[in-house]
Amino acid sequence: MTPNLDIAHLSLSYLTERGRVPALRNVSLAVYPNEIVGLVGESGSGKSTLAMAAMRLLRPQDIALEGSVRVQGQEVYRLSPEDLKRWRWEHLAMVFQSSMNALNPVLSVASHFFDTLSAHRAADSKPVMMQRVRQLLQLVRLDPDVAVRYPHELSGGMRQRVVIALALALNPKVLIMDEPTTALDVVVQKSILDEISAIQTKHQLSVLFITHDFTLVQGLAHRIAVMYAGEIVQITERESLARESVPNHPYTTALMRGIPRLTGSRATLEGIPGEPPDMTRLPRGCAFYPRCQDRRPVCESTPLPEASHDTYVRCHALTAERREERC
Ligand SMILES: Nc1ncnc2c1ncn2[C@@H]1O[C@H](COP(=O)(O)OP(=O)(O)OP(=O)(O)O)[C@@H](O)[C@H]1O
Ligand code: SF4
Ligand SMILES: [Mg+2]
């Protein structure tokens, strides 16, 4: 099956006064039709950079980029600026990190939609656009009359639903959601996640769901990608995570040790020792080496094994284990 979003060997550095700051390192990730992929990692691991790069929203003069991003077969970086404007939001849309706080307080909810709708569907009259706004609000389980209200009149959960509806305005097939529920309480979070799941199934969307919260993706995603220091170190089917017979990357295991369990015997929660690396001074080998409980000499200076596209674990210890099993 051809993925709807196909990111291949993407590397990106920010060009700063301090020099190049690597943020993505040879990232390959595919999201198939009708699939939710969760992207998890600590703060600063490169999740938002990956999303912004996939949308081609970073200014070319601020970055050095290699690799490819294809959406429904179209290479995003080959589109002309005019085509990109038309194409973005119709094929690939994004809910930005903290975007519910970025709604314009002096514009009604409907006006936020009119900008996008009129830019792409200039022929539509105002009543036609208003009808579409009301439909979109219903899609995210808001009262359609919310269209005439202002952002400050809405709760956080309602504003978050509005930004999700905005991203869906032009029926994109691929949706990237960057921490869409982080600022919400757990009850509202749960109800929004249920709606995301229902909309994804109904419209057969491909969703890349970004979060630092492992528990969220475990309940929502079909596959989970784990990011550390700008690299994807593991992509796994959700079901495989819990199976002891399928080994996880040591960083994934460390993240999972920090999740409280509701059932079974009591277990002590453990944080991950140490700090994420300084991206301008990455170790030559595995970036997790200084914090890893399973490290071995080869990890210090040897780059991680190459990634394949769908599911993989990139770790020298696991590669060695598999080699030993085969002998
Ligand atoms: N505009 C920028 N200029 C320079 N460096 C940047 C810029 N934006 C991000 N970075 C750096 O790129 C790396 C990845 O940042 P990014 O925001 O993508 O991480 P993240 O995983 O989304 O983090 P969070 O969970 O906090 O949102 C970090 O080291 C960050 O400091
Ligand atoms: S490659 Fe080595 S240091 Fe890195 S996660 Fe695996 S065992 Fe740990
Ligand atoms: Mg981010």
- Chain segment 164-201, per-residue pLDDT in tens: 999 999 999 999 999 998 878 888 888 889 989 999 99
Largest Cα–Cα distance in the chain?
70
User: Which CA distances in Å does 49 have to 10, 99, 102, 103, 280?
Assistant: 11, 15, 19, 22, 16
Check pocket membership of 212 for ligand 1, CB cut-off 6 A.
yes
Ligand 2, closest atom to CA 233? 5
Tell me the whole-structure pTM to 2 decimals.
0.94
Collapse the DSSP code of 166 into the 3-class scheme (helix H, G, I; strand E, B; otherwise coil) and give the result.
helix
- Residue 23 Cα to ligand 1 middle (Å): 7
Ligand nearest the Cα of residue 227 is 1
Query: How many distinct structural domains can be found in the chain?
Result: 1
Could you report the per-residue pLDDT of 76-111, keeping only the tens digit for each? 999 999 999 888 999 999 999 888 788 999 999 999
Cα separation, 71 vs 3, whole angstroms: 8
Q: What is the pLDDT of residue 221?
A: 95
Is 282 a member of any domain?
Answer: yes
- For ligand 2, atom 7, the nearest C-alpha belongs to 295
Cα separation, 88 vs 103, whole angstroms: 20
Ligand nearest the Cα of residue 50 is 1
Q: What is the pLDDT of residue 274?
A: 86
Ligand nearest the Cα of residue 53 is 1
Res 309 pLDDT > 70: no
Cα separation, 264 vs 234, whole angstroms: 26
If one compares 146 and 262, the residue with the highest pLDDT of the two is 146
Ligand 1, closest atom to CA 49? 18
Average pLDDT, integer, range 220-233 = 96
Is 144 a member of any domain?
Answer: no
**Where is average pLDDT lowest: 76-90, 214-228, 298-312?**
298-312
The owner of tokens 């970036």 is: 287
Residue 31: alpha-carbon gap to chain centroid: 11
Check pocket membership of 23 for ligand 1, CB cut-off 6 A.
yes
CATH number at residue 193: 3.40.50.300
Res 262 pLDDT > 60: no
Name the band, by pLDDT with cuts 50, 70 and 90, for residue 272.
confident
Is 57 a member of any domain?
Answer: no
Domain that holds residue 254: 33-45+79-91+172-260+269-303
Res 9 pLDDT > 80: yes
Check pocket membership of 211 for ligand 1, CB cut-off 6 A.
no
- Residue 308 Cα to ligand 3 middle (Å): 25
Is 314 a member of any domain?
Answer: no
Average pLDDT, integer, range 200-211 = 94
Check pocket membership of 48 for ligand 1, CB cut-off 6 A.
yes
Collapse the DSSP code of 241 into the 3-class scheme (helix H, G, I; strand E, B; otherwise coil) and give the result.
helix
- For ligand 2, atom 6, the nearest C-alpha belongs to 315
Sign of torsion, CA 84 90 91 95?
positive
Is 252 a member of any domain?
Answer: yes
Is 99 a member of any domain?
Answer: no
Check pocket membership of 61 for ligand 1, CB cut-off 6 A.
no
Ligand 2, closest atom to CA 293? 8
- Residue 66 Cα to ligand 2 middle (Å): 26
Q: What is the pLDDT of residue 98?
A: 85
Q: Are 149 and 181 in contact (CB under 8 A)?
A: no
User: Which CA distances in Å does 83 have to 67, 105, 304?
Assistant: 20, 31, 37
Q: What is the pLDDT of residue 269?
A: 63
Is 113 a member of any domain?
Answer: no
Cα separation, 139 vs 114, whole angstroms: 17
Name the band, by pLDDT with cuts 50, 70 and 90, for residue 325.
low
Task: Find, among 55, 37, 88, 41, the residue nearest to 205 by Cα.
Answer: 37
How is 183-226 classified by DSSP, letter by letter? TS-HHHHHHHHHHHHHHHHHHT-EEEEEES-HHHHHHH-SEEEE
- For ligand 2, atom 8, the nearest C-alpha belongs to 295
Quickly count: other Cβ atoms within 10 Å of residue 181's Cβ: 26
Name the band, by pLDDT with cuts 50, 70 and 90, for residue 114.
very high
Mean pLDDT, the chain, as a whole number? Answer: 90
Is 289 a member of any domain?
Answer: yes
The owner of tokens 């929502």 is: 220
- Write out residues with Cβ below 6 Å of ligand 2: 250, 286, 288-289, 292, 294-295, 299, 315-317
- Residue 288 Cα to ligand 2 middle (Å): 6
Check pocket membership of 13 for ligand 1, CB cut-off 6 A.
no
